[in-house]
Chains A and B, each alone.
Chain A
Amino acid sequence: MSAPLIALEGVEAGYGPAQVLFGVSFAVNAGEVVTLMGRNGMGKSTTLRTLFGLLPARAGRILINGADLTGAPPHRIASAGLGYVPEGRQIFPRLTVEENLVATASPGRGHGWTLARVYALFPRLEERRRNMGPELSGGEQQMLAIGRALMTNPDLLVLDEATEGLAPVIRADIWTALAALRAEGLAILVVDKNLEALLRLADRHVVMEAGRVTWTGSTAEVQADPSLITRYLEV
């Protein structure tokens, strides 16, 4: 068996004096869709930031394809095959849609993403290809952030609250796109609030509570035990 795509082993991290993550461990294998669930403020975004080297890991290890990249700069972690769709989207406001997609693209590797394929996945982006980032709706910005991450040709797509604050129709478009990516064999690590959509999309789930992983299991296990949801997820 080959090494998982990513593995966090006992990762601790925080902001200044405040420790937020306490020994977080989980892994994502090739082609797998895994969710990171938990109530607000439990440390999901912090886990992703630490994974990408945007926040230093104070303890533990971060392995990518078996290689120890703990403490590596973000660009090395990302170019090891991780595509980041950050919370709040954060597209490049002074670039056009097409420039946003091309600027950080690394063509000719991984799943072979091109402009044409991103436009086929999100036709709205092609219509707006010459528009500047801030002229887009929230949903279009989100599609752009996903397209931009795909253009880095990652082995694992990482999404933080990708449907947050979007109209239901646009959300549905995004879930459809993620299902299509999954069908192509792309591994996905996703943070979101929409449980039904997550259960439809994902193979496995990692639940966080106050900076710790408190439960992991398959979609079937979640569906078999509804009390899990009230215990870990409902406010």
Chain B
Amino acid sequence: MARMSRLRSPGAIALLVTLGFLAALAVAYVQDSTYWMATLARMAALALSAVSLSFLVGQAGLVSFGHAAPVGIGAYAVLIAGEFGVREVMIVLPLAFAAAALFSALTGAIALRTRGVYFIMITLAFAQMAFYVAASLSAFGGDDGMAIAGRSTFLGERILRRDHGLALLAIGLLGVGLFVLGRVTASKFGLVLRAARDNETRVRALGLATYGHRLAALALAGGVAGLSGALLANQAEFVSPSYMNWHVSGQAIVMVALGGAGHLVGGVIGAVAVTLLDEAIGHYTEYWKLGLGLVVVGAALLRGRGLLRRIVGGQHD
């Protein structure tokens, strides 16, 4: 038991995930496979976004259907800063985090006045607004998007120029993101989020305002999603409104549901699975994701019913 719970500690999980990715990267590096190094960078970036969404959905009970928006804002932060000659990671990453967190906090302040399906719809609507705003930025490529000025530099060095450098950064950020969000989940703050997910009124009647906690959770998850977007922009060296497309938000939810929303690491599992499937069969058909979506929704419904039975069955006196 004690051993199990130590393995489940945020530090142990972040370390295991980081080591797993590093091992895969080492293999790709030895084999000199730029394809796999690029894919691993992308996978780690998508996992970071999925982990931050898992934090919202699984821990805070906030089902955002607009998670692509803060991801895209992080990507645009890289593009726009680059156009102004700013490419330093130590500036660009905090900028991406701050811009995405600010967007999530501002839209969240309104979205949090709604619940359930309305929350899903309003987050989707805000993401669509971000999409159209991006498409209207003609100085930055408008609909078509545009190539970034160049990959970010680290303390002036161009170490992200090669894919293994970028993959290392993405894996490092994923590890830190998992660790920090895991610690937040285990903290008193995380406990309040989980209690409010179960029964918001009850938390308030016990003396805690839930609004502020949830707003902070949205801002934090949005900021982490912004980091993911900054990584994706560097990987593709191209930014367009499609980063914020609604089906990107849907795919993030599929990742979380597929890996299991009960634990943050589910986001990593889902992101890895979806990326691998996409690489394997995405070249043949674009419609496989529709099938995957149906499978995931079906599984979620079945599991939801099982959960309901457990709760109802356990409440007998």
A binding-site residues for B, Cβ under 8 Å? 52, 54, 73-75, 78-79, 83-84, 86, 90, 92-95, 99-100, 102-104, 106, 132, 134-135, 137-139, 148-149, 152, 165-166
Distance in Å from the Cβ of B3 to the closest Cβ of chain A? 15
Q: Given A93-B311, A137-B317: A104 and B197 within 8 A (CB)?
A: no
Taking the nearest CB of chain A, how far is it from the CB of B198, in angstroms? 4
6 closest residue pairs by CB, A with B: A138-B317, A134-B314, A78-B207, A104-B206, A79-B207, A103-B195
| Contact pick for A134, options B192, B209, B310, CB 8 Å | B310
> In the complex where A104-B203, A134-B314, A138-B317 touch, is A75 in contact with B195 (Cβ < 8 A)?
no
B56 to chain A, nearest CB (A): 16
Min distance, Cβ A188 to any Cβ of chain B, angstroms? 17
Residue B208, interface by CB 8 Å: yes
In the complex, the answer to whether A104 meets B194 with C-beta atoms within 8 Å is no
A103-B192, A134-B314, A137-B317 in contact; A93/B198 too (CB < 8 A)? yes
Q: Which residues of chain B come closer than 8 Å to A152, judged between CB atoms?
A: 206-207
Q: Is the CB of B205 within 8 A of A134?
A: no
Which chain A residues border B210 with CB–CB below 8 Å? 75
Q: List chain B residues, Cβ under 8 A from A139.
A: 317
Chain A residues positioned under 8 Å from B197 (CB to CB): 94
Residue pairs across A and B with Cβ atoms less than 8 A apart, 29 shown, are: A54-B201, A74-B204, A75-B206, A75-B210, A78-B204, A78-B206, A78-B207, A79-B207, A79-B208, A84-B206, A92-B195, A92-B198, A92-B199, A94-B194, A94-B198, A95-B191, A95-B195, A95-B198, A102-B191, A103-B191, A103-B192, A103-B194, A103-B195, A104-B207, A134-B311, A137-B317, A138-B317, A139-B317, A152-B206
Are B208 and A75 in touch, CB under 8 angstroms? yes
With a CB–CB cut-off of 8 A, which chain B residues contact A83?
206
Contact between A104 and B317 (Cβ–Cβ < 8 Å)? no
Chain B contact residue count (CB 8 A cutoff)? 24
Q: How far is the CA of A132 from the CA of B201 in the complex (A)?
A: 20
Nearest-neighbour CB distance to chain B for A154, whole angstroms, equals 9
- Chain A, Cβ-Cβ closest to B314: A134
Closest to A137 in B: B317
Question: Do B207 and A75 touch (CB < 8 A)?
Answer: yes
Q: A78-B205, A78-B206 are in contact. Are A134 and B191 (CB under 8 A)?
A: no
Could you tell me which B residues sit within 8 Å of A by CB distance? Answer: 188, 191-192, 194-195, 197-199, 201-210, 310-311, 314-317
Query: In whole angstroms, what is the CA distance A139 to B316 when docked?
Result: 11
A92 to B203, CA, bound (A): 9
Since A86-B202, A92-B202 are in contact, a sample of 15 more A-B pairs with Cβ atoms closer than 8 Å, ordered by chain A residue number, is A74-B205, A75-B203, A75-B207, A75-B208, A79-B208, A90-B199, A92-B198, A92-B199, A100-B195, A103-B195, A103-B203, A104-B206, A135-B314, A138-B317, A165-B317
A86 to B198, CA, bound (A): 15
A199–chain B nearest beta-carbon distance, Å: 26
Q: Of A93, A99, A149, which one neighbours B206 at CB under 8 angstroms?
A: A149
Query: Complex: how many Å from CA A90 to CA B203?
Result: 10
Residues of A within 8 A of B206 (CB): 75, 78, 83-84, 104, 148-149, 152
Whether B314 pairs with A106 at a CB distance below 8 angstroms is no
A134 CA to B199 CA, complexed, in Å? 14
- Cα separation A138 to B317 with both chains bound (whole Å): 4
A104 adjacent to B192 (CB under 8 Å): yes
Instruction: Check A92 against B194 for contact (C-beta < 8 Å).
Output: yes
Q: How far is the CA of A104 from the CA of B205 in the complex (A)?
A: 10
Residue in B194, B209, B311 whose beta carbon sits within 8 Å of that of A75 in the complex: B209
Best-buried of A92, A100, A102, A135 by chain B (most CB within 10 Å): A92
> Across the interface, which residues of A come within 8 angstroms of B198, CB to CB?
92-95
Does the CB pair B191–A99 fall under 8 Å? yes
Q: Which among A74, A165, A166 is the interface contact of B201 at CB below 8 angstroms?
A: A74
A139 to B194, CA, bound (A): 24
